[in-house]
Amino acid sequence: MAESALFITLAASIAVGLTFLFGNPKIDPLWIFLPIVLLLIPGFYAAVISGPFVPSARKRTQAMLKLADIKPEDTAYDLGFGDGRLIFAAAKNAKRAIGYELSIPLYLFGLLRKLVSRSKVSIRYGNIWKQDYRDADVVFCYLLPKAMVRFYKDVWPTLKPGTRVISNAFTIHEIKPIETDDKVYLYRR
């Protein structure tokens, strides 16, 4: 939600500023502001059903990558990739790295980052709860506790045996992690 509030403020400021700068009284700032708000609705929805975008500290990101132990033949997923730092790092070692994001500003940022970095990562716009992860070898999660319950109920049973699930900050209460490192939890299906 932090990125949404920042995006709203920045976009609205630019829109209103341009309107007054060019002095076009025919353009009501509401018609500029309204589409911006509409672009943000999916991100607000994602924050409610899975968790808001909160950047992971470098130390946590490194712990997640270490516990994932990504191999060249692995397929890695990041559920709600945020700023993309984790899935882009995973793409350096994995055969396939796929990140899903529902926040339009973050999704667009991910596409831009992919373009600039020329990474092989696959950036996808979509609801994390409506995807197929059966081919996953590694799944990264930074989901709120209610979303972790849903993950265990809906996604966990579909994962193939041996899939490594790495969760930042929140546990899957129904099972014990195999390993932990600085509030990062490793589970194996």
Query: Same domain, yes or no, for 92 and 177?
Result: yes
Output helix, strand, coil percentages for the chain, rounded to the nearest 5.
Answer: 50, 15, 35
Residue among 181, 158, 180 nearest 77 (CA): 158
User: What is the DSSP-derived secondary structure letter of residue 157?
Assistant: G
Query: Same domain, yes or no, for 39 and 82?
Result: no
Residue 1's pLDDT is 46
Query: Same domain, yes or no, for 33 and 77?
Result: no
CATH number of the domain at 99, please.
3.40.50.150
Query: Same domain, yes or no, for 118 and 172?
Result: yes
Q: Specify the number of domains making up the chain.
A: 2
Q: What's the pTM value of the predicted model, to 2 decimals?
A: 0.84
How far apart CA 73 and CA 97 sit, in angstroms, is 11
Domain span at 148? 58-188
10-residue mean pLDDT series, the chain (189 residues): 54 63 65 75 86 90 97 98 95 97 93 94 96 98 96 98 97 95 96
Residue 7's pLDDT is 56
